[in-house]
Structure 1
């Protein structure tokens, strides 16, 4: 996968960690010595962020020797990247690069785990990860879940039509079918998504013209009930559970009739552990 952030973002990460240089390396007088640095996976993981980590090393003054691409499935002990250069350069990039890979690989691995579970049970529905990532880090978070096989639910407010109950507070519900028709006319290339909080609301939104219903906090059983009611009224609206979709219930939602899953769970996954070792050259 390609890098998803420009050099200025990576340079800011390095500057944050060493705004006035690396005091310890400078005080020891070892900065000019030649060194090697290896990153390895301590546990099995789906890798993400290796390209950005590699560029951090280059920007710090190191030379990249090898880099495994994001999206790779790694076993414990597998090499992630290798670099060489002056001790000062490698130590400057070390912790920032390591932490970046660990956090992003945690997200990627969590997404991959959900999808692997679904695939093993014979389901091929997408996992769509929301924009509920830590603000300011959307390019990296989005890359991480894509490395795990997921897709972006909506990268920004600018790209999708998703009508929340919080929008409907400000409109006359009687006019909703007309509003939906106007939105579809104005944006014919977009699917119209509406969020429902219960069965009655879901049926009403489908009748009003929604293409996709995002079912907020529906249990798998409630989703199955909703699907049956929609089929009975001849609706072909697509159903996507959202809010609380995790590894523990993803398969139940698939069995209940979800067409895709909406989740932010991978963003909150524990980081994976990366071992970094240095050697004198």
Structure 2
């Protein structure tokens, strides 16, 4: 599983994030830790969840100090219990402490996303439906957060505004209607690109079907209305993909799945997730470098 589209781009981001944290230097570490001190940092979880971001944390420490040795004890996607050791990092104590916060911040955030995604995936067991994320991600972290969704067992929706046509309410208003929007988009995009349209009611649904939408998103529909909409779509255009979206929770997702939709998109996978509690502790044995 690819954790980032471009390792060079990831490294560039990590350097910027380290610069934000370290600035002109870690004054606490530089004034309290001997230059030649060596340690082992033990990264462990303080609550159960799904681990994600191990290669990212490793890259943080590699950029801080290439002589550090990072050993992952679990793989991304592993279900972990409280107390599980995720990784060990050995070498210069100063270097370990320089990378500690950024590595943990990323591990905690990505593991939190993977953990929540796994909860939603488990709630959909037995249903032939795909769980996907949205663009409600942290600026600068989208590729990583969407990776964490995949680690948790979910799938990715479009990555940005550039890789799919998705006609929403404001596009419909600006274009003068669903038909006008689809017609204009279809005339300008390559034949390999699909068009998705968000609909809020049955009049819009009828128009989207008539205009030939490839994907129809049912936005904030009640489960009974959603079931009726799915029946209409599959009756008129059986190859049209049907997506459900809007205020989806763990409590409501099973009823949504029962409507027969093909895809359920959930913004909560990324935008309001709680980070998994992860810590790094230095071992008791500290050996001076030769």
- In the superposition, the TM-score normalised over structure 1's length comes to 0.91
Counterpart residue number, 1:191? 194
Counterparts of 1:218 and 1:227, CA distance in 2: 11
Change beyond 3 A, Cα 1:77–1:175: closer
Counterparts of 2:28 and 2:13, CA distance in 1: 25
Change beyond 3 A, Cα 1:36–1:2: farther
2:157 to 117, 141, 153: 153
How far 1:6 sits from its partner (Å)? Answer: 2.5
1:83 to 89, 107, 111: 89
Q: What's the RMSD between the two structures over aligned residues?
A: 2.1
Change beyond 3 A, Cα 1:178–1:17: closer
Counterparts of 2:193 and 2:111, CA distance in 1: 32
Counterpart residue number, 1:15? 19
Answering whether residue 226 of structure 2 is matched by residue 241 of structure 1, we say no
Deviations 1:169-198 (A, max 9, x none): 233438539717x71784322222111011
Change beyond 3 A, Cα 1:175–1:195: closer
Answering whether residue 278 of structure 2 is matched by residue 274 of structure 1, we say yes
2:169 to 132, 144, 165: 165
Counterparts of 2:116 and 2:92, CA distance in 1: 36
Counterparts of 1:66 and 1:252, CA distance in 2: 43
Counterpart residue number, 1:139? 143
The 3-state SS of whatever aligns with 1:13 is helix
How far 1:32 sits from its partner (Å)? Answer: 2.4
Counterparts of 2:128 and 2:274, CA distance in 1: 25
* Structure 2 unaligned residues grouped into runs of 5+: none
- In the superposition, the TM-score normalised over structure 2's length comes to 0.88
Determine if contact 2:179/2:207 at 8 Å carries over to the other structure. no
* Structure 1 unaligned residues grouped into runs of 5+: none
Answering whether residue 36 of structure 2 is matched by residue 32 of structure 1, we say yes
Counterparts of 1:174 and 1:149, CA distance in 2: 33
Answering whether residue 107 of structure 2 is matched by residue 101 of structure 1, we say yes
Determine if contact 1:103/1:271 at 8 Å carries over to the other structure. yes
Answering whether residue 176 of structure 2 is matched by residue 176 of structure 1, we say no
Deviations 1:4-25 (A, max 9, x none): 2521211111111111211112
